[in-house]
Structure 1
Amino acid sequence: MNENEMGSQRMRIGVVNDMPMAVELLRRLVLSTGEHQVAWIATNGREAVEVCRRDLPDLILMDLAMPEMDGVEATRRIMAETPCSILLVTASIEANLAGVYEAMGHGALDAVDIPSVGIEGNASSQSARLLTNKIGTIGKLIGDAPTQAKRRMSRAAEPTPRRLIAIGASAGGPAAVAAVLSSFPVDFGGAIVLVQHLDAQFVPGLVDWLGQHTPLPIRPARERD
């Protein structure tokens, strides 16, 4: 049984992208599942914020680089005013790591590269499957619990020094983690372990990005650490 078969909820999905070819590709992928429908299409972040006030979908496929208002600011406003599930779908996650982590800090659940297009204008099967699987997973999460509940993050600040500090963060956690780590002095006398809900492919980029926000040395965990 795959992720899309595990109780995934039928969803109304909003698409936010300023590129007509990308919009059409995403529209086809949403409809290809036979389960979901396209609620509306917005060509920039500002338009998406306005449409959400009138017609809130179950899920938004949000681009990052757009005119008038980018996906980071649109995510921030939507999650503040009319919260719903947001999946970042952009041309290159690697080229937009800072924006990805910032948008996740505002409440976006996950991120994926927009599927590549073959000669006939259709999405390649592997990249299309990755996106539809993520949509299916979010549909299951929506069916299991309210979206608003998944946005809550808990942070415990220890008043006394510890030899080991463990931090657990949900998909929206990178910005909060960066804020927490930035408060530690470079001579902090302990170890910190971060468990972050994030695809493994993003780990190297997260390490580099967090390193820009704290004087502490950061590296991926290794076996037997």
Structure 2
Amino acid sequence: MAGGRPRAVVADDSHFMRSVISDMLEEGGIDVVAQARNGREAVEAVGREDPDVVTMDVEMPELDGIEATERIMAEHPTPVLMLSAHTDEDADVTFEALDRGAVDFFRKPGGEVSMEMSRLKDQLVEIVTSVAEVDVGGATGHSAGGVTRGTASPSAAEPSGETSYAANPTLIVGSSTGGPKMVEQVLSDLPLAADCRVLIVQHMPDGFTGRFAERIDARSDYDVREATDGARIGGGEALVAAGDSHMAVKNYRNGRLRVKLTDDAPVNSVRPAVDVTMRTAADVVDDPLVGVILTGMGEDGADGIRRIKAAGGHTLAQDEATSAVYGMPRRAVETGCVDDVLPIDEVANGILDTITTEVSS
């Protein structure tokens, strides 16, 4: 890209969708250098054109989006954005594509496709541009693309003697582009003994957050579920903000949080917004409070970090080297209210450091 217009390959088995997506990207300042009717053509186009980004349909003939993504990451690593329909099956396949190396996904609209895609054009162009800037070359557990799980060392948070955790800590994690695997890693590295109440706000559309919660639940020791209006959690439990709803903390009593879901106007152009959850938590939680901002585009979470810090909480942000998109973390850091900036492998231990007290043996 080198400062010029991003170059994209558009893969979709529908000629109509290929045309609509390509036109929107071109109008938004992205050069579409090739179109592919299936996964095989997508792999070939990536090898031939060396694009900055690929938009990949999930279901395609000959070679589907998962297999094509896996081959691209193995043969010619290139940032891939999955375009997924709003179905349970596509949600499962989309998360599998993220496991194979895709950076993020964008939900395909249903109904009157041309009208709905036109309305979502700015969002699509923004996320394609951000994904195009992700470095996926030589992906390892320490890079932005292809995060491994369970890399944190418990001993890092327990330097000597015995340790005890502060009572009733609350953790709020916010993320966007590139965030799903990062969130999974942090939660998988977080020991149940810390007894946190965890609220997760990942910018993700309705229909996917339930599957996302199930994935984290399977990969961590915490009991994780999608938030519902009025849901309560105690220690060792986590809620994932439901797509297209803000998750506000309604009250906090006796170590238990209660949330409410609202369809209030988007904040920072997104719903759910990290700022809403962090701000309301800062207003009502009077036990240890920790706010964490992970990879993502935009500025959501920056004001929330300010609120948590002003309320006496502790704040962390993912570092640039391990962030797929260093937008949200950068804006959080620029507030001057972030206590620690850490690589993804160290975020869980950074959280534990804030709620751990050492007891001499």
Q: Mark yes or no: TM-score above 0.5.
A: yes
Q: Which runs of 5+ in 2 are unaligned?
A: 138-142, 225-237, 241-248, 250-280, 290-361
* Secondary structure class of the residue paired with 1:151: coil
Structure-1 separation of matches of 2:182 and 2:67: 14
Residue 32 (structure 1) aligned with residue 27 (structure 2): yes
Look up the SS of the partner of 1:47 in the other structure.
helix
Distance 1:64 1:22 in 2: 13
Q: Give the 3-state SS of the residue equivalent to 2:98 in structure 1.
A: helix
Q: Secondary structure at the match of 1:13?
A: strand
| Aligned counterpart for 1:220 among listed residues 211, 215, 239 | 239
2:15 aligned residue: 20
Q: Is 1:133–2:126 an aligned residue pair? A: yes
What's the CA shift string for 1:158-180, capped at 9, x where partnerless?
2558859x9999827539938x8
The answer to whether structure 1 residue 210 and structure 2 residue 203 are counterparts is no
Q: Which residue of 2 aligns with 1:4?
A: none
Deviation at 1:17, TM superposition (A): 0.8
Equivalent position amino acid for 1:208 in 2: E
What SS class does the counterpart of residue 69 from structure 2 fall into? helix
Provide the rounded CA distance (Å) in 2 between the counterparts of 1:215 and 1:158.
16
Secondary structure (helix, strand or coil) at the match of 1:220 reads strand
Deviation at 1:12, TM superposition (A): 1.4
Local SS of the residue matching 1:150: coil
Partners of 2:145 and 2:199 lie apart in 1 by 17
Distance 1:157 1:192, change over 3 A: farther
Q: Does 1:72 align with 2:66?
A: yes
Q: CA deviation at 1:211?
A: 3.2
C-alpha distance in 2, partners of 1:200/1:176?
A: 13
Runs ≥4 in structure 1, deviation > 6 angstroms? 166-170, 192-197
Deviation at 1:63, TM superposition (A): 0.6
Task: Please say if 1:199 is aligned against 2:203.
Answer: yes
The 1:76–1:113 alpha-carbon spacing in structure 2 relative to 1, beyond 3 Å, is: same
Distance, in Å, in 1 between the alignment partners of 2:72 and 2:197 is: 31
In the TM superposition, what whole-angstrom CA distance separates every residue of 1:114-163 from its partner, at most 9, and x where no partner exists? 245748x4554322222122123334xx2xx7443532636533255885
What is the aligned partner in structure 1 of residue 98 from structure 2? 104
Query: Would you say the 8 A contact 2:24–2:118 is kept in 1?
Result: no
Distance 1:193 1:151, change over 3 A: farther
CA contact (8 A) 1:18 1:43 kept: yes
- Residue in 1 that maps onto 2:57: 63
Alignment partners' CA distance in 1, 2:199 and 2:148: 13
In 1, the alpha carbon distance for the partners of 2:33 and 2:199 equals 35
Output one character per residue of 1:40-74: Cα deviation in whole Å (capped at 9) or x when no partner.
11111122122322222111000111112211121
Greater strand share, structure number: 2
Looking at structure 1, the residues matched to 8 and 44 of structure 2 have their Cα atoms a distance apart, in angstroms, of 15
Does the aligned pair in 2 maintain the 1:107–1:172 contact within 8 Å? no
Counterpart amino acid of residue 63 in structure 2: M
- Paired residues in the alignment total 209
Residue in structure 2 matching 1:171, options 178, 201, 204: 178
Q: Report matched runs for 1:88-99 at 5 Å.
A: 88-92=82-86, 95-99=89-93
Task: Provide, for residues 17-46 of structure 1, a one-character-per-residue CA deviation record: whole Å limited to 9, x for no partner.
Answer: 11111111112111212x222111111112
Computed over aligned residues only, the root mean square deviation of the Cα atoms, in angstroms, reads 3.9
Question: Identity across aligned pairs (percent)?
Answer: 24
Shift of 1:207: 0.6
CA contact (8 A) 1:115 1:131 kept: no
| Alignment TM-score, normalising by the size of structure 1 | 0.71
